[in-house]
Amino acid sequence: MMGKAGIGVIAAAAIGAGAYYAYQSTTAPQVTGGTVGMLTYSPLYAVPDYKTYLKNNFNIDLEETLDSAATLGDKLISSKGRGWDTTVFWGAFSKPVFSANPAVVQPYTKDKIPRWKDENLGRLFTDPKSVVGDVVGQQILNDMWWPGKIGQEFGALCPMYGIDTFAINPEFVDHPLQGWGDMMDRQWKGKVAMMDIPTITIDIWAMHLAKTNQIPQPGVIYNLTPPEVDQVVNWLIDQKKAGQIKAFWGDYGTSVNLMTSREVYVADIWNAAVFDARRAGVPAYYLLPNEGSIAWIGGEAVFAGVDSSKLPLIYKYLDSRLSGSWARTAGLLAYQTPAWPSQEAKNAFEAEFYDWNFLGKATYKPISEIVPGKSAWIANGLFDPQKYTWQKEPGTPSSDGNKKDRGSIETIEKSITTLETWEDRADYYVSSWNKFKQA
């Protein structure tokens, strides 16, 4: 998520149609250690324990530069492939980044990433079409593999991914909401936050309107035609005129602040923001809408200007993104990794944490012991996996234990209906969104 904004502002002139980076394999000597410079955006950063893992195991120093989600795409294109070694970005930037001219990133063959094996990976990555259907499944492949080289050469290896929905504050909302449409229930008038990201938000509401038969089913839900965009935007304008929407947010920090300040009770924010709200003492739940969810595939690419002598070090680092250590770190941050089914991931997690995070099982302790002195409705909304002491050995889930919001990873993946990816008509999305905001 993945997280994510500003896709519509990438300059079309910077995208070279059909441009292809001439990849040459390297036989450079192995590197025993060094520094990897990464460009990304919050919250897709390198946390301290993962940096320690890299240093202790590979003598790699990871240095990240954090940009804004709203400007990352522009920075990537304007970099001309220089300035860093790798970059983590979400799939909505894949198409323009992969086809940029001059080249911004370079592909790398699958054999450079030894951990990328089917037995280590979830089905969303080995056979995405069987999980989310042909259209969305194909786009997941397109956003990760180099054009024309699916299954052979990475454009951007996926170190993390997410499935976005919306959150509620149980202090003010006394029951789980069932769908996206419930955000527009007038009892929450003036207490709703919405992403200021047209290429995501318009698609979300197209999904809702189509699923509830308020508009015809779009041909491609993440690549709407202008008339389809108009239908969605006109409906959103009605909601805005009714005073339903309190605030728009375009960056992660703002979304967290809106929840922790209690300015809003319902918000289409990212999963990690829910945990950050809980750490600030504000309860929050992340819900699974019955209309479906929107997925994002984070990718890590290698800059085109990297000297070939440094590539072995970078490949070693990229392979570590599929390690058990990174899987556990990502889990604590509310992200997932493709290699969650691997034995290495199972060994890195405490048995209780693995079952909670991936299989949807309850904690061994009842929520009344974990968060004492609160009702179960509030206490479960305050559960923090970073503060809980997970049991290493297998045990018995409590009938009153906390269960991860939205259930098992397979349940959440099956809900995917659309994808945060590149839209062919991004400019129309943006101009229509401006019409909506000015209404």
Bridge partner list, 108 = 154
Looking at the chain, the whole-number percentage of residues with pLDDT higher than 70 is 92
C-alpha span between 24 and 418 (Å, rounded)? 35
State whether 299 and 432 are in the same domain.
no
Confidence of residue 5 (pLDDT cuts 50, 70, 90): very low
pLDDT tens figures, 99-117: 999 999 999 999 999 999 9
Mean pLDDT of the chain: 91
* Whether the predicted pLDDT of 20 surpasses 80: no
Establish if 379 belongs to a structural domain: no
pLDDT for position 17: 28
Mean predicted confidence (pLDDT) in 310-320: 97
pLDDT tens figures, 188-208: 999 999 999 899 999 999 999
Establish if 397 belongs to a structural domain: no
**Cβ pair 199, 215 in contact under 8 A:** no
Structural domains in the chain (count): 2
**Which DSSP string corresponds to 122-159?**
-HHHHSHHHHH-HHHHHHHHHTTBPTT-TTTEESSEEE
pLDDT for position 32: 76
State whether 286 and 329 are in the same domain.
no
State whether 192 and 79 are in the same domain.
no
Lowest mean pLDDT among 37-51, 87-101, 200-214, 267-281: 37-51
Establish if 391 belongs to a structural domain: no
pLDDT for position 18: 31
Looking at the chain, the whole-number percentage of residues with pLDDT higher than 90 is 85
pLDDT for position 13: 29
State whether 95 and 240 are in the same domain.
no
Confidence of residue 22 (pLDDT cuts 50, 70, 90): very low
Token reading at 356: 């909670």
DSSP single-letter state for residue 262: T
Mean predicted confidence (pLDDT) in 299-318: 97
**Cβ pair 371, 379 in contact under 8 A:** yes
Confidence of residue 74 (pLDDT cuts 50, 70, 90): confident
* Whether the predicted pLDDT of 15 surpasses 90: no
C-alpha span between 438 and 240 (Å, rounded)? 10
C-alpha span between 274 and 283 (Å, rounded)? 8
Whichever domain contains 182, its CATH number is 3.40.190.10
pLDDT tens figures, 326-373: 999 999 988 999 999 999 999 999 999 999 999 999 999 999 999 999
Mean predicted confidence (pLDDT) in 223-229: 97
The residue with tokens 């999904």 is 207
Bridge partner list, 89 = 299
C-alpha span between 356 and 403 (Å, rounded)? 7
State whether 119 and 214 are in the same domain.
no
* Whether the predicted pLDDT of 4 surpasses 50: no
**Which DSSP string corresponds to 315-363?**
HHHHHHTTSHHHHHHHHHTT-B-TTTTSHHHHHHS-HHHHHHHHH-PPP
Q: How many other CB atoms are there within 10 angstroms of residue 217's CB atom?
A: 12
Mean predicted confidence (pLDDT) in 22-50: 69
State whether 182 and 276 are in the same domain.
yes
Establish if 206 belongs to a structural domain: yes
Q: Which of 348, 370, 394 is the last residue of a domain?
A: 348
Establish if 255 belongs to a structural domain: yes
State whether 146 and 178 are in the same domain.
no
State whether 148 and 182 are in the same domain.
no
Mean predicted confidence (pLDDT) in 156-177: 96
> Model-level pTM?
0.90
pLDDT for position 30: 53
* Whether the predicted pLDDT of 226 surpasses 50: yes
Establish if 380 belongs to a structural domain: no
State whether 67 and 156 are in the same domain.
yes
Establish if 171 belongs to a structural domain: yes
Lowest mean pLDDT among 205-214, 301-310, 419-428: 419-428
* Whether the predicted pLDDT of 64 surpasses 50: yes
Q: How many other CB atoms are there within 10 angstroms of residue 365's CB atom?
A: 18
* Whether the predicted pLDDT of 224 surpasses 70: yes
Establish if 363 belongs to a structural domain: no
Range of the domain at 81: 7-162+294-348
Q: How many other CB atoms are there within 10 angstroms of residue 182's CB atom?
A: 20
pLDDT for position 168: 98
C-alpha span between 419 and 139 (Å, rounded)? 8
Token reading at 285: 């739940």
State whether 195 and 153 are in the same domain.
no
E strand spans, 10-81 = 34-41, 60-67
State whether 241 and 334 are in the same domain.
no
State whether 158 and 198 are in the same domain.
no
pLDDT for position 31: 56
Token reading at 290: 């019955």
